[in-house]
Amino acid sequence: MTSETVGTPNFLSTKNIPVNERLIVALDFPSTEEAENFVDLLGDTVVFCKLGLELFMAGGYFELVERLRNKGKKIFVDLKFFDVPATVGSAVRQLKKHGASFATVHGNDAMLEAAAKEKSGLKILAVTALTSLDQGDMDDLGFQVDIADLVLSRAKRAMELGCDGVISSGIEAPRLRKDLGDNFLIVSPGIRPGLNREVDDQKRTVDVEEAFLNGADYIVVGRPIRNADDPKKAAEEHQARIAKLFDS
């Protein structure tokens, strides 16, 4: 990491968020039954769950959302809406009745604006740049811009259009906080709590503490918990690390 991305306590979130809700666990499973069993295994250790595209394609997605909400869980619908603006707006309007807390939109200004107009109590998070992409990938896609500049630009536009926050790597979070302030949410995926970060398709990764000290309000963790020998213990360890930051 460069000196620009090293975490500083000045960026630690001061928002009124329960500490145990700052960890969002990604339910990346091929069936809703496996996902629900995993949530039951974690028990009260985790409150916030992210349901993505894999589960959506498995069938029974919104039935699972309802069951998890009945278990007291908060839901992050990560379907990255990307379509013509009217369709995105309609999708957000339909989603509101399912009681999700967060939803992602991955699109241009008109799509983000359409989503924000329909959000009501649902918080809309704009995707900036996927954490599975690095600068080489962006160059290959034809984006002739530094990835940090792209993230900042997309975040700034999202805030102006009425979104509640962004999905951003913890690497870019300090610059977002420095340039755009604290009046929006940063949700950071790509969390790798160990020293070996070259283990999967996530490229722009940070540690648990780095993410929060860099300005994240929430972190999303999937494989480091799901693939652990003892997932509940791994989740507890993540929560303990987060609590140590915010209780100190």
Between CA 242 and CA 170 the distance in angstroms is: 15
For residue 208, which of 223, 200, 220, 196 has the smallest C-alpha distance?
A: 220
80 Cβ partners below 8 Å, 6+ apart? 53, 104, 105, 106, 127
Exposure of 202 in the CB half-sphere (CA atoms within 13 A): 23
One-letter amino acid of 166:
V
Q: Which tokens go with 22? A: 């700052």
Q: Which of 15, 50, 80, 244 is catalytic?
A: 80
Residue 80 annotated as catalytic: yes
User: Strand, coil or helix: what is 80?
Assistant: strand
CB 185 within 8 A of CB 218: yes
**Active-site residue set:** 80
